[in-house]
């Protein structure tokens, strides 16, 4: 058991008979009335974010989760396969449990979040940034770079990302996997 004073970003709690991760929280002490804590909670299974307010001092159950290092191996019709980096144990994971599967490269390191009590896989988290090669994008027109315009680019894993007009086929780009956006062009 923990109280609202123990809240921190990334903490996984049991709430409404489900597991939620605290995305954001704020302690509020109004001039009139008791203190409370505003939170944004992300459902571990569905990914849906909800807002909730807890009275200050409310007791909550903290779920024990572990982050384990795995390496992406391959994908087939059934799902995605990962190998533990230390024990070489292989696991199978469904696509809905992976944050951004379109950015997975063979051999890439990921963290698998596991509920410690039940050994159920909760999610697979990619590194915050990945570097990918653009395999196709429409050529940019000279003079269009002054505006803040974007175009679609297909990356080596088959996914698409919106990129500035100056990005061409063959360029390597850095992508933020958390919000699926272009960050910068990477030099070789």
For the chain, the straight-line distance linking the first and the last C-alpha, in angstroms and rounded, comes to 50
Low-confidence ranges of the chain (pLDDT < 70): 141-147
Residues 51, 70: one domain? no
Residue 3: CB atoms within 10 A of its CB come to 13
> CATH number for the domain including 171?
2.40.50.140
Q: Say how far apart CA 101 and CA 154 lie, in whole Å.
A: 15
Q: Say how far apart CA 5 and CA 28 lie, in whole Å.
A: 12
The string of pLDDT tens digits covering residues 48-97 is 889 999 998 899 999 888 889 999 999 998 899 999 999 999 999 988 88
Please list the residues that pair with 37 across neighbouring strands. 27, 54
Residues 71, 118: one domain? yes
Domain count, the chain: 3
Residues 103, 133: one domain? no
* Full domain range(s) for residue 156: 129-186
- Per-residue confidence (pLDDT) for residue 147, from 0 to 100: 63
Last residue of a domain, one of 40, 62, 84: 62
Check if the beta carbon of residue 25 is closer than 8 Å to that of residue 54: no
- Per-residue confidence (pLDDT) for residue 165, from 0 to 100: 85
Check if the beta carbon of residue 64 is closer than 8 Å to that of residue 72: no
Residues 144, 157: one domain? yes
């Amino acid at each position: 058991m923990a109280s609202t004073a123990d809240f921190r970003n990334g903490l996984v709690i049991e709430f409404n008979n489900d597991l939620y991760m605290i995305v954001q929280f704020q302690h509020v002490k109004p001039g009139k009335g008791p203190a409370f804590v505003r939170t944004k909670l992300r459902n571990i299974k569905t990914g849906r974010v909800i807002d909730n307010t807890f009275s200050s001092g409310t007791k909550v159950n903290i779920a024990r989760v572990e982050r384990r290092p795995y390496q992406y191996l391959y994908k087939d019709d059934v799902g995605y396969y990962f190998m533990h980096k230390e024990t070489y144990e292989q696991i199978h994971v469904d696509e809905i449990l992976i944050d951004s599967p379109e950015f997975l490269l063979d051999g890439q390191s990921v963290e698998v979040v596991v509920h410690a009590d039940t050994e159920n896989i909760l999610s697979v988290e990619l590194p915050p940034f990945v570097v990918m090669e653009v395999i196709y994008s429409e050529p940019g027109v000279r003079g269009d770079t002054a505006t803040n315009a974007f175009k679609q680019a297909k990356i080596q894993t088959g996914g698409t990302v919106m990129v500035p007009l100056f990005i061409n086929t063959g360029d390597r780009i850095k992508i933020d996997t958390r919000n699926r956006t272009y960050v910068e062009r990477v030099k070789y």
